[in-house]
A and B are shown apart, each in its own frame.
Chain A
Amino acid sequence: AQSVSQHNHHVILSEAASLELGCNYSYGGTVNLFWYVQYPGQHLQLLLKYFSGDPLVKGIKGFEAEFIKSKFSFNLRKPSVQWSDTAEYFCAVTPLNTGFQKLVFGTGTRLLVSP
């Protein structure tokens, strides 16, 4: 069975700092990868996803993630964070082209951006 590791449980940054959140997965086959975000008091929403093609994926609000197959990683990055990026970020993986019933989430990283 696949699993997802998010090594940073809490991250605190100042505005304009660069962000990189780690995500590693374990699964022997081809996967679809996701990053979800949950802003305070709001529902989980999709930030970006990788299905195939260019391993550098652009998402909403200036976020991007790079799929490195050899490292089983899908790290999330943003060059310059804003206070409004304060949220909890979840990495998730599912075997290629299967439905969400096989989706596995990481434990999440809570990001606090101080103004």
Chain B
Amino acid sequence: EADIYQTPRYLVIGTGKKITLECSQTMGHDKMYWYQQDPGMELHLIHYSYGVNSTEKGDLSSESTVSRIRTEHFPLTLESARPSHTSQYLCASSGVSYNSPLHFGNGTRLTVT
């Protein structure tokens, strides 16, 4: 069972609103990741973190921002949501070793109207 939690599970929000997608893990993992997935498309990495106060942008450009103030918490924020942000957002974490498995949360399905 995954010990990585994402809230909310579903979110429908109007254009221009600020939103924060929550992600927490209880495994003590240093590495955490945010992926974006559109229907029928690949998962694309948008942000990752190697530890507290470390954040990097992934391969897919995103207007979202992330923070890593605590090891277990890796929230993603959109300052002003737009319909183009409608997608599924998946959070994941992994241990230090390069061959430790990647654990995923259940995802947040965001719809911006």
Residues of A within 8 A of B (CB): 1, 4, 9, 32, 36, 42-46, 49, 51, 90, 97-101, 103-108
Contact = CB atoms under 8 A, between A and B. Distances in A.
Contact of A98 (B4, B98, B105, B106): B98
Closest 6 CB pairs of A and B: A44-B104, A105-B43, A43-B104, A105-B42, A43-B106, A46-B101
Contact of B56 (A45, A90, A101): A101
Contacts, number: 52
Contacts of A97: 98-99
A100 B40 contact: no
B55 to A, nearest CB: 12
A100 B92 contact: yes
Given A103-B102, A107-B40, A107-B42, A43 B2 contact: yes
